[in-house]
Amino acid sequence: MTQRVDYAKQSPELLKKFVEFLNAIKEGAIEEPIRDLVVIRASQINRCAFCLDMHVKQARLHGERELRLYHLAAWRESTLFAPRERAALAWTEALTQLSDQGVPDELYERVRTQLSEKEISDLTFLVMSTNAWSRLNIGFKSVPGSADKLFGLDKAALA
């Protein structure tokens, strides 16, 4: 396999700003359990193994139930997700897989019944950042699990 660019070494200032952006999102209106579900679902859709590996481990460390993680790919059929979580997941999917028509008004109105305008806005920034991280890690073929010690994810005991 051809060695890819190490984006952290090549663009440290951009990476620093991007991490600051992510940290600001974490201080936003969306609670951690929904943030965990959203970043995992976007990573599944993007087929980013590095991101999926990282976010599942983070969710487990945050106390997310294992069964809900198994059900996340089929959240519409599962009974394990609350209406608020379903709204966040629907919004995540719509923004991660943009259709030619954009996001339908019906979906937006449905999401508004569960999330405030501030929450929808903050959620959108979370989805944007997750999709951007996926593109970095897919583009440069980041190895799943390679940053576990750096981020304390080895404590998740998911090898």
Two structure tokens written together for 1:
């396999």
CA atoms of 36 and 39, how far apart (whole Å)? 5
Per-residue pLDDT of the chain (159 residues; tens, 9 = 90+): 677 899 999 999 999 999 999 999 999 999 999 999 999 999 999 999 999 999 999 999 999 999 999 999 999 999 999 999 999 999 999 999 999 999 999 999 999 999 999 999 999 999 999 999 999 999 999 888 888 788 888 888 776
For the chain, the maximum distance between any two Cα atoms, rounded to a whole number of angstroms, is 48
Cβ atoms 80, 67 nearer than 8 A: yes
CA atoms of 1 and 18, how far apart (whole Å)? 28
> In the chain, what are the domain boundaries?
19-139
CATH pick for 19-139 out of 1.20.1290.10, 3.20.20.30, 2.30.30.240, 3.40.50.300: 1.20.1290.10
